[in-house]
Each structure stands twice: as structure tokens, then as C-alpha cells.
Amino acid sequence: MTNKKVSFWRVFWPSLIAGVVIITIIIVLFAGAIGSLLSSTPVYSVKDKTILHLQLKGQIGEISKNEISLNSFGMINRTGLADLLYGFEKAAKDDQIKGVFIELNGARCGYSTATEIRNAIKNFEKESGKFVVAYHSGEVVSLKQYYIASAASENYGFHSTMFEFLGLGTELMFYKGMFDKLDLEMQVIRGSNNDFKSAVEPYFLTEMSDSSRLQLQTYLDNIWTAVKTNISADRGISIAQLDHIADSGLVRRIGQAVEYKLIDGVKYRDEVIQLLADKIDIKNTDDLNFKGFEKYAQKKFEAQQKIAHVKKANVAVIVAEGNVIVEGEGLASKNITKLLRDARKDDDIKTIVFRINSPGGSALASDEIWREVKLANEKKKVIVSMGDVAASGGYYIAAPASKIFAEETTITGSIGVFGVIPYTGKMLENKLGLSFDRVSTNQHAVLSTNQKLSEKEFSMVQEEVDHIYASFLKVVAEGRGMTVEQVNAIARGRVWTGIDALRVGLIDTLGGIQDAIAYAVKDAGIKNPIVRYYPKVEKEAWVELIESFEEEENTVKGNVIPAELTEMYKRIKQVEQMSGIQARLPYELIW
């Protein structure tokens, strides 16, 4: 018997073709399954005797956002304040909703946003007569978490949970000592009298200046006063007693929070669930219907906005959020100017509410947006609503509006300008042995970070910074009906909270986004308001796909997205990254 040698190619080609066919079939089947899921968006429904479950995980923005960022290849997934406020309005009138169960878990927002949410909770209880029960568990209850939940008529906590009620404070890091060791120098240029513009102080000081300390202390005191006042009204505890509790560190655990009447009782979670069941006459807690409040609110807001973008809306709410930039992700002048221009030219739009939540940024981009706000206000009134922060460039773009609303705790002002030019030449020479030489046709043709600014070059930059500051003063003076001298007296880069900004004339009235919309509607004489938000509220198909796996009726019982999708989501989220002359808030705010 002879062994025949089989040609390699006789085996290779049939195997390759078979493999390609199998892979093709798999791809077609997989694509078909995904396509089927994407084409059949699940119907969102609410059963009778539903309890909404409010958790507020992660960042709270102005409008909900669920999308892949093409710039950072990360996942943006956040809850929107506009959605939440509208959700409370709809839930109050929804007969199938019997109440709200609050379990906050790491909400990240400023105190102005927190105040607007707690006001919505109080209005929901007052207008509907429905219950709101808050439960505090986990390792520790933060002050902001408690501040929001304290608006609920009932507050309970897990017996071994820690409780944080020590007031407000902040710590700044200064880099000068490190820079000295590295032979690195930051050449700082501020407006000539911008002593409150303290963003650059860590580069050339080792501690806060008197000006910086004054403004920090003032706005922390103002925010703390607002927090105490609201908690005092809801819990029936005097402001003096709240200060005593904080100063003496009397409340560190849930049991102590009960003792000092910050919350109503200590309960295990199953006891709270039973309490909720009793409130709506359900014997078995397994029969409770829970719905995620965030999703409920988002669905209701999306539905309302779909109608608003089909009908002829008469109120435009333009949301400007993030760092002021020319182009890209954030408060980009390229995008915002178009939205303002479109609203101005739309004859159906009778009034514009400009919602600003920004610490400022590019002076150029701020000027571009300012121009469009001014033009829009000349044709139809622009009403500004300030969020957690509308400072520096964020205030610049608000200045031309006919009326400005802000919360007591809104951080605003910071009317000033700065620039920072690092000098790296000495560091690179001493630490790495690098040296530099230059050739130029004129004296100042080579402006490099490896060469220290000459006295003449420094003065040139200083002149430009002062010019921008002078323009800033003029813009504010014109918008606010003040003299340049009056503005300069309250400017100099100083940060104000809303309560003080009202006193010095930087804003017109205290209130949130809903107050601003209500005023705009009344002022424009609109009888049947149709409010349209910009940018347009849209949802990507992949979000609907993920939502189709959710069983939000069981969120309270811990049954959520399958583990495989959760892990995929986690990995995508880990990829997410944060992304000239500046008109920017002196501090980076991390809520």
C-alpha cells in the first residue's frame, strides 16, 4: 500500500473557503439579531401603584446625555437636571405614581443644582400629596447627599452608616516649592488690579493671598448659610443648633443623626421597603412596582421635547455647559452661536432662556458668544439662568441679557483675565543638559518657553491682558447699566455667590431654571408655552439596545443589567478622558 502525498494547497483552499463561509454566516446572524433589537425599541410603561426610585448616581448635567464621545472614545452617561425637574412635574400628576423612594449614591453636582432638586422634591410633595421617603445607607452619608434628601418628608438610615455633618471647607495645593526645585518658573500676567484672580497663585505663592482667602471664606460661608437655612426649615432645627452640631462634631453616625433630629429613625433596608408597601396597601413587598426615577424623568422629557421640536415652539432654552472653547466638546462658540442665531431668526420663538453652567475659558470664544447674545436680546428678550457656576467667561456671555437669574449658591463674577507662560529653559539646561540658541530677523520674533520674557515682552503681554480686562469691564457696564468704575470696584477677578451678586448688581433676581422660564413666558405674554431645549435631545440607538436589557421594576431588589454588559460598560467608561488668554474661574470645581 502506497501513501499518496496530499498537496498543501488542496487542503488550504477548501479550509479557507469553509472558514470564510462560517464566519460570514455568524456575522449575518449576529447583525440580524442586533438589527432586530435596534429596530424594535421597547415600549416604556408604568404600572399602577408604582414607586419611583431616585438614586442620582454620578454626574448631574443640565440635560441627560447617553452617547459615545467620538473625540475621547469614551462613554458619556449622565443625568440631566432638566429631565429631573420635568420628571417631578409629571410624576406629581401621574395617577399611577404613588410616591418616590430616595437612595442617593454618589451624586456629583454643585449646591445650586442640589438646591433645585430639593426644591422639586418639596414641590412634588406639596402639589401631589404623595410621599417621599429617603433612606441613607452605605459607608457614609455625605453632606450634599443629606442636603438633597433632607427635603423628603421622611428620612431613615442604616444603623452602622457613618454620617458627615461638619460644614464646608476646601484645600488648595501650591506648586511654587516644587517648581523651585525643578528650576521651573511660571510667568504670570494678570489684569493690573486683578488681585482676586487667584487661579494663578499656586504658581508663584506658597499660601493663599489675603484676597483669595477673603473670597473663598465669603463664598463658603454663603453656601453654608443657604444649606443650613434650608435644612433648618425642613427639619425644624435652629440654624444655631446646626452650627453647634457641626462645630462640635456631634453627628458622626446614623444613630447620632437620629438623636439630633437630622433624620427620623434607624431602620434596616427591608424595614423601609415594608414601610413603602404599607403606604400603598400592598402586603407582600415582592409585589411592589419600582421604576428608576432617572429613566422615568428622561423618557417623559424626551417625549415632551419630541413634541416641542415638531410643533412651533415659542420658548427656546439654550443650554451652555462646560469650559468656553472655540470648537470641540464643551461650551463651544461654534455651536452655541449657531443655536442663538437660529433662535433669533425663528419668528415662532418669542423669548430665549439662556442656561449657563460654565467657569469660563477662552476669551475669544466668550466674545463670539457675547455678540450673538447681544444681537438676540435686541430682537427678542434673552433671560439668563445661571447654574452651579457662571463665572469669568461664563459671566461675560451673560452680561448682555435683559435679566439674569441665579441661585443663592451660584458661583459667579470672577470678572478678570490672566495668562501663564512657563519658562522651561533653566530646568531643561540644569536637569537634562539641554541648551538652546536662536536666529531671528527681529528682536521679538522668537517667543519661546525656553527663553524668559524680556521686560519689553512682558509689558507687551501685560498690555494685551489689560486690554481684554478693559473690554470685559465695558461689556459688563453696558449690559448691567453701570459705569466702568462701578464694575471695576466689584470686579478685579473676584468670585461672588448669587446672594452677594444680587447685592452688588451682577444679577437681577434669585431663582432656578424653572423660575427663569416662568418669567420669560409671562414677560413675553405667552399664553400656551411650548418650551424647546437646544441642543436637541436625542438618543443613540445603542442606548436603546442597552435599555432593552434593563428590568427597572427590580432595581430596588438589585436585578439590573446583565453582568457581561455591565463589565463592557465599565471598560468603555475607563477609556473616557477629560478633555491664549483666559477668562476663567480661579478654581477648578470638583463636585
| Catalytic position from the list 64, 150, 212, 392 | 392
CA 246/CA 241 separation, integer angstroms:
9
Sheet bearing 74-80, strands edge to edge: 65-69, 74-80, 58-61, 107-108
**Three-state DSSP string of 438-478:** CCCCCCCCCCCCCCCCCHHHHHHHHHHHHHHHHHHHHHHHH
Contact by Cβ (8 Å): 224, 409: no
In order of 4, 79, 248, the CA distances from 82 in angstroms are: 77, 9, 38
Q: For residue 201, which of 220, 214, 218, 183 has the smallest C-alpha distance?
A: 214
CA dist., res. 325 & res. 331, Å (int) = 6
Q: Is the distance from CB of 112 to CB of 410 less than 8 angstroms? A: yes
CA-nearest of 384, 421, 416 to 198 is 416
Tell me the C-alpha distance between 63 and 61, whole Å.
6
Q: Which residues contact 18 (CB under 8 A, 6 or more apart)?
A: none
Distance CA 88, CA 203 (A): 46
Residue entry with cell 458627615: 164
Tell me which residue has cell 419600582: 290
Q: Is the dihedral of CA 312, 313, 319, 325 positive or negative?
A: positive
Our separate counts of H helices and E strands in the chain read: 21, 26
Residue from 197, 228, 300, 374 carrying the catalytic annotation:
197
Cα distances (angstroms) measured from residue 314 to each of 332, 402, 431, 530: 25, 18, 63, 6
Whether 381 is catalytic is no
State CA 377 to chain mean position distance.
Answer: 26
Residue 404 and residue 387 in contact, taking contact as beta carbons nearer than 8 Å: no
H/E stretch holding 521: helix 513-523
- Decide: helix, strand or coil at residue 429: helix
Number of other CB atoms surrounding residue 8 within 10 Å: 8
| Residue from 44, 41, 39, 42 nearest 300 by CA | 44
Buried/exposed code over 380-402 (b: 16+ C-beta within 10 A; e: otherwise):
bbbbbbbbbbbbbbbbbbbbbbb
Instruction: Determine whether 90 is an active site residue.
Output: no
Q: Is 252 exposed, middle or buried (0-12, 13-18, 19+ CB in 10 A)?
A: middle
Q: Which residues are catalytic?
A: 197, 392
